[in-house]
């Protein structure tokens, strides 16, 4: 289990010339670590999703209040 990812074969690609997904697909340890970090940042979108959902729910309740009084 603790065996690490094998070292990349051949020279490391120029990460600047590759898109994110192409760079990750090289399977180099650095690329895979970069993918993990990118996915981790992507998950933070959920904080905004939660906030938006609460705001929409609040908006629906306010509209109801305004239209029934």
Task: Give residues in contact with other proteins (CB under 8 A).
Answer: 1-6, 21, 24-25, 27, 29, 32-33, 35-36, 39-40, 42-47, 49-54, 56-57, 60-61, 64, 67-68
* Residue 1 or 17 with smaller CB distance to other proteins: 1
What separation in angstroms does the CA of 9 have from each of 18, 42, 59? 17, 29, 56
* Residue 16 or 67 with smaller CB distance to other proteins: 67
**CA angle 25-41-39, nearest 5°?**
30
Tokens matching residue 63:
């509209």
DSSP E strands in the chain: the ranges are: none
* Residue 14 or 43 with smaller CB distance to other proteins: 43
């Amino acid at each position: 289990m603790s065996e690490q990812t094998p070292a990349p074969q051949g020279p490391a690609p120029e990460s600047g010339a590759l898109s994110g997904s192409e760079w990750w697909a090289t399977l180099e340890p650095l690329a895979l670590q970069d993918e993990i970090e990118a996915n981790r940042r992507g998950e933070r979108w959920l904080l905004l999703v939660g906030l938006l959902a609460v705001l929409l729910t609040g908006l629906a309740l306010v509209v109801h209040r305004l239209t029934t009084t």
